[in-house]
Amino acid sequence: MGMKLAMIMGAVMITMGLAFSWYYKDTQERMGVLRENAAKLEVAVRANEEALAATQADAARNAALNLELQTKLQVSEKYGDELRATLQKHNLTMLALKKPGLIEQRMNDATKKLFDDITTDTNN
């Protein structure tokens, strides 16, 4: 009976040793996979932080540009209002009909200046 018990105990010890060996190797593999995943996540977090910082910088730049455009738009609208008021004040059609020689040269000069300004703006 002692021999049988010793064989059973030996088999149990060998089984436990194999189970522990398998558990140890499996745990080491899992830890390796988790380390790799953690490294990948750190890289992803850094990339996301950089993308977020770039997006925030772009948003700030766009806000500044938008403010600048709004200011220029207000100036342009004011200039347009002044032009409309001037054109309403002077009835150029009636003046051209009554005194064509007086207005023709002025209109031609103004048109040439406008075209020159447009050409200068589009070439820059």
Which amino acid, residue 105? Q
Could you give the CA distance from residue 39 to residue 45 in angstroms, rounded to a whole number?
Answer: 10
Token representation of residue 30: 């899992």
2: its two tokens: 């002692």
pLDDT tens for the 124 residues of the chain, in order = 778 888 999 999 999 999 999 999 999 999 999 999 999 999 999 999 999 999 999 999 999 999 999 999 999 999 999 988 887 887 777 777 787 787 788 888 888 998 898 888 888 6
Measure Cα distances from 119 to 80, 105, 107, 112 in Å. Answer: 20, 21, 18, 10
CA triplet 68, 70, 73: central angle to 5 degrees? 110
95 contacts 103 by C-beta, under 8 angstroms:
yes
- Tell me what pLDDT residue 124 has: 62
